[in-house]
Protein backbone atom coordinates (compact mmCIF):
# COMPACT_ATOMS: atom_id res chain seq x y z
CA UNK A 1 0.00 0.00 0.00
CA UNK A 2 1.53 3.26 -1.16
CA UNK A 3 0.36 6.08 1.07
CA UNK A 4 1.47 9.68 1.44
CA UNK A 5 1.46 12.02 4.40
CA UNK A 6 -1.56 13.80 2.93
CA UNK A 7 -3.62 10.63 3.42
CA UNK A 8 -3.50 11.25 7.18
CA UNK A 9 -4.59 14.86 7.17
CA UNK A 10 -7.87 16.26 8.49
CA UNK A 11 -9.30 19.65 9.45
CA UNK A 12 -9.87 20.23 13.16
CA UNK A 13 -11.60 23.31 14.58
CA UNK A 14 -9.28 24.91 17.13
CA UNK A 15 -12.06 24.97 19.73
CA UNK A 16 -11.90 21.17 19.94
CA UNK A 17 -8.28 21.12 21.17
CA UNK A 18 -8.62 20.43 24.89
CA UNK A 19 -6.73 22.83 27.15
CA UNK A 20 -7.77 21.11 30.38
CA UNK A 21 -8.59 17.52 31.37
CA UNK A 22 -12.07 16.35 32.23
CA UNK A 23 -13.07 16.43 35.90
CA UNK A 24 -13.26 13.80 37.21
CA UNK A 25 -10.76 12.19 34.86
CA UNK A 26 -13.08 9.36 33.83
CA UNK A 27 -15.84 11.77 32.73
CA UNK A 28 -14.19 12.20 29.35
CA UNK A 29 -16.30 11.09 26.43
CA UNK A 30 -15.50 7.68 24.94
CA UNK A 31 -16.09 6.74 21.32
CA UNK A 32 -16.53 2.98 21.00
CA UNK A 33 -15.82 1.44 17.59
CA UNK A 34 -16.55 -2.19 16.72
CA UNK A 35 -14.24 -3.45 13.97
CA UNK A 36 -16.53 -6.34 13.02
CA UNK A 37 -19.79 -4.40 12.65
CA UNK A 38 -18.04 -1.07 11.86
CA UNK A 39 -20.46 0.65 14.23
CA UNK A 40 -19.75 3.74 16.35
CA UNK A 41 -21.21 4.21 19.83
CA UNK A 42 -20.95 7.35 21.99
CA UNK A 43 -20.25 6.69 25.64
CA UNK A 44 -18.21 7.94 28.61
CA UNK A 45 -14.91 6.66 29.94
CA UNK A 46 -16.43 5.83 33.33
CA UNK A 47 -18.48 3.15 31.53
CA UNK A 48 -15.32 1.38 30.34
CA UNK A 49 -15.69 -1.52 32.78
CA UNK A 50 -18.90 -2.54 30.99
CA UNK A 51 -17.44 -2.06 27.51
CA UNK A 52 -14.28 -4.13 27.75
CA UNK A 53 -14.15 -7.73 26.59
CA UNK A 54 -14.64 -9.66 29.88
CA UNK A 55 -11.79 -12.00 28.93
CA UNK A 56 -9.33 -9.21 28.17
CA UNK A 57 -6.05 -8.32 29.80
CA UNK A 58 -5.61 -4.56 30.11
CA UNK A 59 -2.01 -3.43 29.51
CA UNK A 60 -0.91 -0.07 30.97
CA UNK A 61 2.23 2.00 30.43
CA UNK A 62 3.49 3.00 33.90
CA UNK A 63 6.10 5.53 32.77
CA UNK A 64 6.11 8.87 34.59
CA UNK A 65 6.66 12.24 32.90
CA UNK A 66 9.81 14.01 34.05
CA UNK A 67 10.34 17.77 34.30
CA UNK A 68 12.52 18.05 31.23
CA UNK A 69 11.42 21.45 29.89
CA UNK A 70 13.73 24.26 30.98
CA UNK A 71 12.35 27.78 30.51
CA UNK A 72 14.49 30.91 30.89
CA UNK A 73 13.85 34.63 30.49
CA UNK A 74 10.11 34.18 31.14
CA UNK A 75 9.83 31.48 28.49
CA UNK A 76 11.70 33.28 25.72
CA UNK A 77 14.42 30.61 25.81
CA UNK A 78 13.59 26.88 26.01
CA UNK A 79 15.82 23.84 26.40
CA UNK A 80 13.84 20.60 26.12
CA UNK A 81 16.13 17.86 27.43
CA UNK A 82 15.68 14.57 25.60
CA UNK A 83 18.69 12.62 26.85
CA UNK A 84 21.36 13.03 29.51
CA UNK A 85 24.66 12.00 27.95
CA UNK A 86 26.83 12.59 31.02
CA UNK A 87 26.45 14.78 34.16
CA UNK A 88 27.15 17.96 32.15
CA UNK A 89 26.05 17.09 28.60
CA UNK A 90 22.54 16.61 27.23
CA UNK A 91 20.80 16.23 23.91
CA UNK A 92 17.97 18.71 23.58
CA UNK A 93 15.51 20.58 21.43
CA UNK A 94 15.93 24.36 21.77
CA UNK A 95 14.07 27.55 21.06
CA UNK A 96 14.90 29.91 19.41
CA UNK A 97 17.17 27.78 17.24
CA UNK A 98 19.10 30.72 15.80
CA UNK A 99 20.42 31.54 19.27
CA UNK A 100 21.97 28.07 19.68
CA UNK A 101 24.76 27.96 17.08
CA UNK A 102 27.67 25.52 17.24
CA UNK A 103 30.42 26.72 19.57
CA UNK A 104 28.33 29.48 21.07
CA UNK A 105 28.19 29.92 24.87
CA UNK A 106 24.80 31.19 26.01
CA UNK A 107 23.94 32.70 29.38
CA UNK A 108 20.67 31.15 30.53
CA UNK A 109 20.45 32.68 34.01
CA UNK A 110 22.85 34.31 36.50
CA UNK A 111 25.71 31.85 36.98
CA UNK A 112 24.31 29.30 34.49
CA UNK A 113 25.70 28.94 30.96
CA UNK A 114 25.47 26.39 28.20
CA UNK A 115 27.72 25.68 25.22
CA UNK A 116 26.45 24.23 21.93
CA UNK A 117 28.73 21.32 20.98
CA UNK A 118 26.96 20.09 17.85
CA UNK A 119 23.74 20.18 15.83
CA UNK A 120 22.29 17.07 14.16
CA UNK A 121 20.45 17.02 10.84
CA UNK A 122 17.08 17.08 12.59
CA UNK A 123 18.03 20.10 14.69
CA UNK A 124 18.84 18.35 17.97
CA UNK A 125 21.58 20.11 19.93
CA UNK A 126 24.26 18.48 22.02
CA UNK A 127 24.79 20.91 24.89
CA UNK A 128 27.27 21.22 27.74
CA UNK A 129 26.08 23.02 30.87
CA UNK A 130 28.31 24.88 33.31
CA UNK A 131 26.76 22.79 36.12
CA UNK A 132 25.80 19.13 36.37
CA UNK A 133 22.19 18.60 35.34
CA UNK A 134 21.24 17.39 38.83
CA UNK A 135 22.47 20.66 40.39
CA UNK A 136 19.87 22.63 42.36
CA UNK A 137 20.52 25.67 40.15
CA UNK A 138 18.21 24.12 37.53
CA UNK A 139 15.21 23.56 39.83
CA UNK A 140 13.48 26.97 39.36
CA UNK A 141 13.57 26.49 35.59
CA UNK A 142 12.26 22.90 35.32
CA UNK A 143 8.71 22.40 34.10
CA UNK A 144 6.44 19.53 33.13
CA UNK A 145 6.52 19.36 29.31
CA UNK A 146 2.92 20.05 28.36
CA UNK A 147 2.40 19.79 24.59
CA UNK A 148 2.89 22.96 22.51
CA UNK A 149 -0.85 23.28 21.81
CA UNK A 150 -1.52 23.58 25.58
CA UNK A 151 -0.47 26.76 27.37
CA UNK A 152 2.27 26.06 29.94
CA UNK A 153 0.46 25.73 33.25
CA UNK A 154 2.34 24.07 36.11
CA UNK A 155 -0.90 23.69 38.04
CA UNK A 156 -1.71 20.90 35.56
CA UNK A 157 1.51 18.96 36.23
CA UNK A 158 -0.05 16.15 38.29
CA UNK A 159 -3.04 15.94 35.96
CA UNK A 160 -0.55 15.24 33.17
CA UNK A 161 0.44 12.02 35.00
CA UNK A 162 -1.49 8.76 35.03
CA UNK A 163 -2.59 7.60 38.49
CA UNK A 164 -0.38 4.51 38.07
CA UNK A 165 2.77 6.33 36.88
CA UNK A 166 5.87 4.88 38.58
CA UNK A 167 9.12 5.10 36.64
CA UNK A 168 10.28 8.56 35.57
CA UNK A 169 11.61 8.93 32.06
CA UNK A 170 8.89 10.11 29.69
CA UNK A 171 9.07 13.41 27.83
CA UNK A 172 5.30 13.37 27.27
CA UNK A 173 2.44 11.57 28.97
CA UNK A 174 0.99 8.26 27.74
CA UNK A 175 -2.26 10.17 27.44
CA UNK A 176 -4.79 7.35 26.96
CA UNK A 177 -4.11 6.42 30.58
CA UNK A 178 -4.95 9.89 31.93
CA UNK A 179 -8.65 8.98 32.01
CA UNK A 180 -8.37 6.24 34.63
CA UNK A 181 -9.38 6.80 38.25
CA UNK A 182 -8.75 4.49 41.20
CA UNK A 183 -12.49 3.76 41.41
CA UNK A 184 -12.72 2.82 37.74
CA UNK A 185 -9.67 0.56 38.07
CA UNK A 186 -11.32 -1.20 41.00
CA UNK A 187 -14.53 -1.78 39.03
CA UNK A 188 -12.55 -3.14 36.08
CA UNK A 189 -10.68 -5.56 38.36
CA UNK A 190 -13.93 -6.67 40.01
CA UNK A 191 -15.25 -7.69 36.61
CA UNK A 192 -12.38 -10.17 36.39
CA UNK A 193 -10.33 -8.20 33.86
CA UNK A 194 -6.60 -8.77 34.39
CA UNK A 195 -4.44 -5.64 34.58
CA UNK A 196 -0.74 -5.69 33.64
CA UNK A 197 1.93 -3.00 33.37
CA UNK A 198 4.89 -2.37 31.12
CA UNK A 199 7.12 0.67 30.71
CA UNK A 200 7.80 2.75 27.63
CA UNK A 201 9.47 6.10 28.14
CA UNK A 202 7.73 8.42 25.71
CA UNK A 203 10.05 10.43 23.50
CA UNK A 204 10.40 11.68 19.95
CA UNK A 205 9.27 8.35 18.54
CA UNK A 206 5.81 9.32 19.77
CA UNK A 207 5.64 13.08 19.25
CA UNK A 208 8.13 14.00 16.49
CA UNK A 209 6.34 15.22 13.34
CA UNK A 210 6.65 13.22 10.13
CA UNK A 211 8.54 15.31 7.59
CA UNK A 212 8.52 13.05 4.54
CA UNK A 213 5.59 12.88 2.11
CA UNK A 214 6.28 9.18 1.45
CA UNK A 215 5.68 7.63 4.84
CA UNK A 216 7.91 4.66 4.01
CA UNK A 217 10.83 7.11 3.89
CA UNK A 218 10.29 8.22 7.49
CA UNK A 219 12.59 6.82 10.19
CA UNK A 220 11.01 6.87 13.63
CA UNK A 221 13.06 7.66 16.73
CA UNK A 222 13.78 4.85 19.18
CA UNK A 223 12.12 4.75 22.60
CA UNK A 224 13.19 2.67 25.61
CA UNK A 225 10.92 0.02 27.10
CA UNK A 226 10.85 -2.61 29.86
CA UNK A 227 8.73 -5.77 29.91
CA UNK A 228 9.32 -8.05 32.88
CA UNK A 229 9.45 -11.83 32.59
CA UNK A 230 6.51 -12.22 34.99
CA UNK A 231 4.26 -9.91 32.96
CA UNK A 232 5.31 -11.51 29.67
CA UNK A 233 4.50 -14.96 31.04
CA UNK A 234 0.99 -13.88 32.01
CA UNK A 235 0.44 -12.10 28.68
CA UNK A 236 1.34 -15.30 26.85
CA UNK A 237 -1.65 -16.94 28.55
CA UNK A 238 -4.02 -14.05 27.84
CA UNK A 239 -7.00 -14.83 25.64
CA UNK A 240 -7.48 -11.19 24.61
CA UNK A 241 -5.29 -8.09 25.06
CA UNK A 242 -6.40 -4.46 25.27
CA UNK A 243 -3.52 -1.99 24.98
CA UNK A 244 -3.99 1.30 26.81
CA UNK A 245 -2.38 3.80 24.48
CA UNK A 246 -0.26 3.66 21.38
CA UNK A 247 2.85 3.36 23.57
CA UNK A 248 1.68 0.09 25.13
CA UNK A 249 0.64 -1.15 21.69
CA UNK A 250 4.05 -0.40 20.19
CA UNK A 251 5.88 -2.29 22.94
CA UNK A 252 3.60 -5.32 22.63
CA UNK A 253 3.91 -5.42 18.85
CA UNK A 254 7.69 -5.00 19.13
CA UNK A 255 8.23 -7.98 21.43
CA UNK A 256 5.52 -10.45 20.38
CA UNK A 257 6.48 -13.84 18.96
CA UNK A 258 3.95 -16.05 17.21
CA UNK A 259 4.51 -19.80 17.57
CA UNK A 260 2.57 -22.24 15.44
CA UNK A 261 0.74 -25.03 17.25
CA UNK A 262 -0.19 -28.19 15.30
CA UNK A 263 0.56 -26.33 12.09
CA UNK A 264 -2.52 -24.10 12.38
CA UNK A 265 -3.23 -22.29 15.63
CA UNK A 266 -0.77 -19.65 16.75
CA UNK A 267 0.24 -18.91 20.32
CA UNK A 268 1.62 -15.57 21.46
CA UNK A 269 4.82 -15.28 23.42
CA UNK A 270 6.73 -12.14 24.35
CA UNK A 271 10.41 -11.31 24.55
CA UNK A 272 11.30 -9.90 27.95
CA UNK A 273 13.73 -7.41 29.41
CA UNK A 274 14.70 -3.87 28.49
CA UNK A 275 15.41 -2.53 25.04
CA UNK A 276 14.40 0.13 22.55
CA UNK A 277 11.86 0.09 19.77
CA UNK A 278 11.55 2.01 16.52
CA UNK A 279 8.56 0.07 15.25
CA UNK A 280 6.56 2.22 12.81
CA UNK A 281 3.02 0.88 12.42
CA UNK A 282 1.17 2.01 9.30
CA UNK A 283 -1.78 0.68 7.25
CA UNK A 284 -0.99 -2.78 5.93
CA UNK A 285 0.58 -3.85 9.21
CA UNK A 286 -0.97 -6.98 10.76
CA UNK A 287 -1.37 -6.75 14.53
CA UNK A 288 -0.29 -9.86 16.39
CA UNK A 289 -0.39 -8.85 20.07
CA UNK A 290 -3.15 -6.25 20.38
CA UNK A 291 -6.83 -7.21 20.10
CA UNK A 292 -8.31 -3.90 21.28
CA UNK A 293 -6.91 -0.40 21.72
CA UNK A 294 -7.76 2.51 23.99
CA UNK A 295 -6.35 5.77 22.66
CA UNK A 296 -6.96 9.51 22.44
CA UNK A 297 -7.61 11.51 19.28
CA UNK A 298 -4.30 12.33 17.60
CA UNK A 299 -2.78 15.11 15.53
CA UNK A 300 -3.10 15.07 11.74
CA UNK A 301 -0.20 13.44 9.87
CA UNK A 302 1.19 11.91 13.08
CA UNK A 303 2.68 8.43 13.52
CA UNK A 304 0.00 7.81 16.17
CA UNK A 305 -2.79 8.47 13.68
CA UNK A 306 -1.09 6.06 11.27
CA UNK A 307 -1.02 3.38 13.99
CA UNK A 308 -4.76 3.84 14.52
CA UNK A 309 -5.40 3.68 10.76
CA UNK A 310 -3.49 0.40 10.67
CA UNK A 311 -5.79 -0.97 13.37
CA UNK A 312 -9.17 0.04 11.88
CA UNK A 313 -8.35 0.81 8.24
CA UNK A 314 -7.64 4.18 6.66
CA UNK A 315 -11.19 4.91 5.47
CA UNK A 316 -12.70 3.88 8.81
CA UNK A 317 -10.19 6.03 10.68
CA UNK A 318 -11.35 9.06 8.71
CA UNK A 319 -15.01 8.14 9.32
CA UNK A 320 -14.39 7.78 13.06
CA UNK A 321 -12.61 11.13 13.21
CA UNK A 322 -15.34 12.84 11.16
CA UNK A 323 -17.91 11.52 13.65
CA UNK A 324 -15.80 12.74 16.58
CA UNK A 325 -15.49 16.23 15.09
CA UNK A 326 -19.18 16.45 14.24
CA UNK A 327 -20.03 15.27 17.78
CA UNK A 328 -17.60 17.80 19.26
CA UNK A 329 -15.30 15.36 21.01
CA UNK A 330 -12.28 17.02 22.62
CA UNK A 331 -8.95 16.27 20.92
CA UNK A 332 -5.32 15.56 21.82
CA UNK A 333 -3.59 15.06 25.17
CA UNK A 334 -6.31 16.30 27.56
CA UNK A 335 -9.10 15.34 25.20
CA UNK A 336 -11.54 12.45 24.95
CA UNK A 337 -10.78 8.83 24.12
CA UNK A 338 -11.67 5.91 21.85
CA UNK A 339 -12.07 2.22 22.51
CA UNK A 340 -11.35 0.36 19.27
CA UNK A 341 -12.32 -3.28 19.65
pLDDT, tens digit (0-9, with 9 covering 90-100), for 241-300: 999 999 999 999 999 998 755 555 678 999 999 999 999 999 999 999 999 999 999 999
Kindly report the CATH number assigned to the domain that includes residue 15. 3.40.1780.10
- Asked if the structure places residue 149 within a domain, the reply is no
The pLDDT of residue 265: 62
Kindly state whether residues 59 and 74 are assigned to the same domain: no
186 and 321 fall within a common domain: yes
Residue by residue, what is the 3-state secondary structure of the chain?
Answer: CCCEHHHHCCCCCHHHECCCCCCCHHHCEEEEEECCCCEEEEEEHHHHHHCCCCCEEEEEECEEECCCEEEECCCCEEEEEEEECCCCEEEEEEECHHHCCCCCEEEEECCEEEEEEEECCCCCEEEEECCCCCCHHHHHHEECCCCCCCCCCHHHCHHHCCCCCCEEEECCCCHHHHHCCHHHHHHHHHCCCEEEEEEECCCHHHHCCCCCCEHHHCCCCCEEEEECHHHHHHHHCCCEEEEEHHHHHHHHHHHEEEEEECCCEEEEEECCEEEEECCCCCCCCCCCCCCEEEEECCCCCCHHHHHHHHHHCHHHHHHHHHHHHHCCCCECCCCCEEEEC
Mark which of 143, 176, 198 sits at the end of a domain: 143
In a domain, 150, yes or no: no
Q: Say whether both 25 and 50 belong to one domain.
A: yes
Q: Looking at the structure, tell me whether residues 48 and 97 fall in a common domain.
A: no
Q: Which of 99, 119, 143 is the last residue of a domain?
A: 143
- The per-residue pLDDT for 260 is 59
Same domain, 119 and 254: no
Task: Clarify whether residues 103 and 217 are in a common domain.
Answer: no
Same domain, 23 and 103: no
CATH code at position 128 = 2.40.10.240
Q: Which residues of the chain have pLDDT under 70?
A: 1, 260-265
Instruction: Give the per-residue pLDDT at 258.
Output: 82
Based on the fold, state whether residues 35 and 89 are members of the same structural domain: no
- What's residue 262's pLDDT? 56
In this structure, the answer to whether residues 25 and 89 fall within a common structural domain is no
The verdict on residue 134 lying in a domain is yes
pLDDT at position 261 is 58
Amino acid sequence: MSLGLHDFDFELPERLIAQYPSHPRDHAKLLVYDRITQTIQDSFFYELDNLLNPNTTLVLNNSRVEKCRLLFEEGKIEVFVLEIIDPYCVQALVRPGKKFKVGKIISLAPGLQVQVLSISEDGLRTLRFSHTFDDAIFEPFKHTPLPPYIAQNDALSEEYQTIYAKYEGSKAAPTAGLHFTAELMQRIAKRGVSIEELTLHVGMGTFAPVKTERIQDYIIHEEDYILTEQVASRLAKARHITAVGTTSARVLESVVLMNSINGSQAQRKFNTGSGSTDIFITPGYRYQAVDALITNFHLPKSTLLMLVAAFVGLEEMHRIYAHAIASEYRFYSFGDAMLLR
